[in-house]
Structure 1
Amino acid sequence: MLNRVLKPLATVTGSLTAALLIAAAQAAPLKQEDLSVAEVLRDRALESSDAYSLVESLTVEVGPRRAGTKGDERAVAWAQQKMQDLGFDRVYTEQIDVKRWARGHAHAEVTAPFPQPLVVSSLGYGASTPEGGLNAEIVEFADVEALMKAPARKVKGKIAFINKRMERARTGEGYGPAVQGRSKGMRAAAEKGAAALLLRSVGTDSDRFAHTGMMSIDGVANPVPALALSAPDANLLEAMLERGKPVEVKLDVHNEPLADGPSFNVIGELVGREKPEEVVLIGAHLDSWDEGTGALDDGAGVAIVMETARLISELPQRPRRTLRVVLFGAEEIGLVGARQYVDAHQDDLDNIIMVSESDFGAGKVWRFDTRIPESKFTIADQMMQLLAPLGIERGNNKSSGGPDSSVFVARGVPAMGLYQDGTDYFDYHHTPNDTLDKVDPDNLKQNVAAWVVMSFLAAEMEGDFGRVPAEH
C-alpha cells in the first residue's frame, strides 16, 4: 500500500538511478521501497519552509531561555504545544533538577595606564565583586595550563587574564582547546588566590561582543568573579601589556545564586507500528544562553528534529519502530537533561537502537559520521546514496552524535552524526549576536532533508545496529 501511495510522488520528485536501485537490492539491509520513500521525504524537505517557521516562532515568541528561568518555562510550554500541533502521537515532559542563577550587571574598565572601557560578559554562574567593585593589576597567561602551572605569588591579588585565541575551522575543532580556559580558568584562578579572571572570549569573531558560557564551579570553595572579554578588548589589553607598564583594571560585577529549581526535557513520539518498544532517538537542546535569542544554539536544531518528525508523521503509516524526539533541558550548564534522562532510563537503553543530535547551528550538512559496528557499515553506505546528492560526504566511525548524545554513546548506544559547516558558528556562539538573521532558510532545508533520510531509514529498517563498546 505504501509503495502505491508514494509511487506517483516518486515520479514527480525524481527516483533513484538504476545503478543505485541495483546496489540497494544487493546490499539488503535497507529495502528498495524504503529507500524510495526516504528519497521522497528528502525532496519534500527541500521544498518546505516549515523548519524556518519553527525557529522563527521560538526566537520571537520565547527568545532567551536559560535553564531555570521564566524564558525556560515558556520554551517548555511552547515545545509541548508545537509537538501537539505537529501531530506527534505522544507528547510529555520529564522533570530535571537544575542549578539556578541570576545575571546582574558586569562592567570593566582599564584604569591605568591608558584608561578606557572594556566589553565583558559574566561567565555562567559567576561570582560578584565586593560592593563598589575591585581594582587590580592584570597578569597574562597564554592558556589555562600556564595559569595552572604559575606560582601562586604571581597571581595572588591580581586579575588573571587568559589570552588564548580560538582557531577557526569548518569542524569547529578549535573549540575544544580554547574552551578549557572557560571551563577550568576560574577554578585555577581561585586556587592561586587571584582577585578575578578575565578570559579572551571563546570565539572566532572580531566583533565587540563577549561570549558567555558555563564554568566548572562545583567544589570551588572561594569562587572569584569571572568575565569573558570581547576579542577586540583582549587585543587591546595585549597591546597595552606590550608597552611594558603594569595594566590595572576595575571590575564591578553583580550576579546572584538562586535555589535549585525544575526544568524539563520535552519529548514527542511517533509510535512504531511493529516494534514500538525499539526507539530511534533524535534530539536537540531547548535551553539557550540569555545574551541572544538562541537561534543557532540551539533553535535551529530544535526546528530540524521537530520538522524531521513532522515529515515522517505524514506518511500513510508509522515507521516500524518508534521515532522519539527529545528536546533536552539545561544542556548549556553541563548536559544536565541528557545525564538525568540516561540515569532515569538506564534499564531501557538497550532498546534505543540509534541516537543523534543537531547542535551545531544551521550551516549546511557536509559530513555523515557514525558510531556503529563495522558489520553494519552497509546500512550507512545505503544511506549515503541519498545523502550524497545533498553535498554530503562519508566521514568516520567516531561520532558522538552530538553533546547530549555523547552521554548515550558512553553507555554503548550506537550513534550517527550529520555535521554542519561550522566555519562561522563560533562567531555568534553564546553572544548577543545569536539571532534569527543568522539562520539561512535554504541551509535549514538541506539539514532537514539529510535528517529525514537518516531518521526514517533507521526507524524503518528491519534489523538494528547492535551495540558499540561503552566508554568508561
Structure 2
Amino acid sequence: MKFLFLIVFIYLLPQCTGKPLIRDDCHQHTFEEIKREIAGYSDIAKAIINLAVNGNAQNRSYERLANFVDTIGPRLSGSKNLEMAIKYMFRVLQEDGLENVHLEPVKVPHWERGEESAMMLAPRNHSIAILGLGSSVATPPEGITAEVLVVTSFDELHKRSQDAKGKIVVYNQPFVSYEETVKYRLLGAVEAGKVGAVASLIRSIASFSINSPHTGWQWYQSDVPKIPTACISVEDAEMMARMSSRGTRIVVTLKMGAKTYTDIVSFNTVAEIVGSKYPEQVVVVSGHLDSWDVGQGAMDDGGGAFISWEALSLIKDLGLRPKRTLRLVLWTAEEPGGVGAEQYYQLHKGNISNFDIVMESDSGTFMPMGLAFTGSDKARAILKEIMQLLQPINVTNIYENGGETDTDYWVRNGVPGASLRDDISKYFWFHHTQGDTMTVQDPSQMNLCAAVWTVVSYVIADIEEMLPR
C-alpha cells in the first residue's frame, strides 16, 4: 500500500509543481505572491544587465555577429552559404559550452535568382535597378520586351484589366505599413497574371529609398499563369508613374535567369541550458539563421539570432541554471515562409503543454522599447511585473502581438509568445536589400537588446509556475 501511494504521489507531483495550476488540490499562488517572487529577481536582473551592458560581455553579441556575417555573408534558403552558416554555429555553440547542441533536419526551398536586368527603352534608355522575388520564374533567355502599365492598386489593375494584356505591370502602390503594403510583393505577380500581363515589377516595400530595390518571397497560384516578377526602387516606380500620367509610352526589356530546384535538407540549430528542476519544460529564445542573398543578413535576422545566443551565454557566464530548460533555436528557411519552424512544430507539438513561452527576435536589434506579447490576461500581468526588472535601462513597456513568423505555429495553439519591440523607424530602409550589413548595427543597442532578452527569458524559466494559458 505504501508503495502504491508513493507511485500515485510521484505521478501527481509534476501536475502540482511547475505547471499552470488548475487543480483544486494544488496550491495556486496568488498574484501578490507571484509579484513578490518576481521582485526577488532584482539583483539577478541587475547582474545580467551589468554584464551585458558594462561588463566583460559588453559588445560580445555585436562582435560575434560581425565575425559571422563577414565570414559567411548572405544565407539564402538552400544555399551553400546557409549550409556553411549552420556548420559554423554548430561549432561555436559547442565551443561556448552550451548543452545538447544539435541539428534537426528539415526540407527547405532552393531558389536562385541568376543574372537579372531591366532596361527602359522608351521614352529613353535607362537601367532600372531590380531584385527578383523569391520563387519567381525566369524570362526567356532573350528577355521580355513589352509596354508598361502603371497602377497604384489591385483595384485599379482589375478596372484596367483590358489594358494589362501583354503588358509589364508596374505597381506604384504607396507605402502605408509593411503589414498592409507587403501584399503587393506577395501577390503582385498573381494579380497581374490573372489579367494577362507578361511580367510584374513592384515598387519596393520600403518607407525610404536611395534607389535601392528590396527583395522578398512571393507566391504563385496553381490556376494562374506564372509570370516573372521583381521589385524595383521607389524612385523608378515613381518616375514611371509620372511618365504614365503624362501619357508617355514606356517600353521595358526584362531579363531574369531565376531557377527553382528541388527542396534540399537543411537544419534548425538547437542548444540548451538544461533546467535544474523541470527540465522537460521549455522556454524558447530564437531568431532565424537564413537571410536573403543580398547584403549580409546582419539586421534580418543576424541580430535576433545572436542576442538569443547571447542570452544563454550570459546566463551561463553568471553561473545560473533556471528551473526550466532554456532552449536556443536558430530557425532555417524563415524567409520562404517559416519553413523550418513549421517542421519543428510538427516534430515537437506532441509536447506542447511543456512549452512555457516561445520568444523570437526578428524585427531588428535597435534601441529596445519593450516586449510584445500574446497570451492570456493573467500571463500578461506576470510579464508586466517581469518587465519592471528592466527599470535600470528604462525598458519596461509591454505591447500587443508577440508572435513572429517562426513562433506563430505555437502561439496560434495557445502557447504564450513574445518578441522584442525596438525602434524600427529605419528598419525598412534596409530590409531585404544590399544595405542590410553590419553598418546598420550598433553594439550598444545590441547590448541593451541582449539584456532585455536575457532577463525576461531567465525569469520566466526560473519562476516556480509556468505562465497561465
Q: TM over 0.5: same fold? A: yes
Shift of 1:343: 1.0
What CA distance in whole angstroms lies between the structure 2 residues aligned with 1:123 and 1:145? 22
> Aligned pair in 2 of structure 1 residues 139, 62: CA closer, same or farther (>3 Å)?
same
Amino acid of the structure 2 residue aligned with 1:40: A
What CA distance in whole angstroms lies between the structure 1 residues aligned with 2:402 and 2:449? 18
2:278 equivalent among 271, 275, 279: 275
Retained in 2: the 8 A contact 1:35–1:457?
Answer: no
What CA distance in whole angstroms lies between the structure 2 residues aligned with 1:220 and 1:389? 56
Amino acid of the structure 2 residue aligned with 1:37: I
Retained in 1: the 8 A contact 2:271–2:329?
Answer: yes
1:160 equivalent among 157, 163, 169: 169
1:139 equivalent among 143, 149, 174: 149
What's the counterpart of residue 443 of structure 2? 441
Retained in 2: the 8 A contact 1:186–1:197?
Answer: yes
Deviates more, 1:320-329 or 1:361-370: 361-370
1:84 equivalent among 94, 97, 106: 94
| Offset from partner CA, 1:350-384 (integer Å, 9 cap, x none) | 11100110111121111323223222344223212
Aligned sequence identity (%): 32
What's the counterpart of residue 458 of structure 2? 456
Retained in 2: the 8 A contact 1:285–1:359?
Answer: yes
Shift of 1:231: 1.4
Deviates more, 1:34-43 or 1:114-123: 34-43
How many residue pairs get aligned? The number is: 436
Amino acid of the structure 1 residue aligned with 2:279: P
Amino acid of the structure 2 residue aligned with 1:263: S
Which secondary structure state, in structure 2, belongs to the residue aligned with residue 401 of structure 1? coil
Retained in 2: the 8 A contact 1:97–1:262?
Answer: yes
What's the counterpart of residue 206 of structure 1? 209
Q: What TM-score do the two structures reach when normalised by structure 2?
A: 0.89
Shift of 1:295: 0.5
1:465 matched to 2:467? The reply is yes
What CA distance in whole angstroms lies between the structure 1 residues aligned with 2:453 and 2:160? 50
Deviates more, 1:268-277 or 1:230-239: 230-239
Shift of 1:27: 4.9
What's the counterpart of residue 381 of structure 1? 384
Amino acid of the structure 2 residue aligned with 1:135: T
Retained in 2: the 8 A contact 1:46–1:446?
Answer: yes
What CA distance in whole angstroms lies between the structure 2 residues aligned with 1:29 and 1:80? 39
What's the counterpart of residue 368 of structure 1? 371
What's the counterpart of residue 127 of structure 2? 117
| Offset from partner CA, 1:320-377 (integer Å, 9 cap, x none) | 0000010000000011011111111111111110011011112111132322322234
> Aligned pair in 2 of structure 1 residues 146, 92: CA closer, same or farther (>3 Å)?
farther
Retained in 2: the 8 A contact 1:29–1:462?
Answer: no
Matching of residues 30-429 of structure 1 within 5 Å: 30-47=37-54, 48-147=58-157, 149-150=158-159, 152-167=161-176, 174-217=177-220, 219=222, 222-396=225-399, 398-429=400-431
> Aligned pair in 2 of structure 1 residues 418, 102: CA closer, same or farther (>3 Å)?
closer
> Aligned pair in 2 of structure 1 residues 165, 152: CA closer, same or farther (>3 Å)?
closer
What CA distance in whole angstroms lies between the structure 1 residues aligned with 2:154 and 2:109? 25
Deviates more, 1:324-333 or 1:49-58: 49-58
Shift of 1:289: 0.1
> Aligned pair in 2 of structure 1 residues 150, 78: CA closer, same or farther (>3 Å)?
farther
What CA distance in whole angstroms lies between the structure 1 residues aligned with 2:382 and 2:271? 26
Q: What TM-score do the two structures reach when normalised by structure 1?
A: 0.89
> Aligned pair in 2 of structure 1 residues 220, 309: CA closer, same or farther (>3 Å)?
farther
What CA distance in whole angstroms lies between the structure 1 residues aligned with 2:213 and 2:364? 18
Retained in 2: the 8 A contact 1:354–1:415?
Answer: yes
What CA distance in whole angstroms lies between the structure 2 residues aligned with 1:96 and 1:45? 33
Deviates more, 1:186-195 or 1:291-300: 186-195
> Aligned pair in 2 of structure 1 residues 154, 30: CA closer, same or farther (>3 Å)?
farther
| Offset from partner CA, 1:291-333 (integer Å, 9 cap, x none) | 1110000111111100011001123341100000100000000
| Offset from partner CA, 1:257-278 (integer Å, 9 cap, x none) | 2121111110111100100000
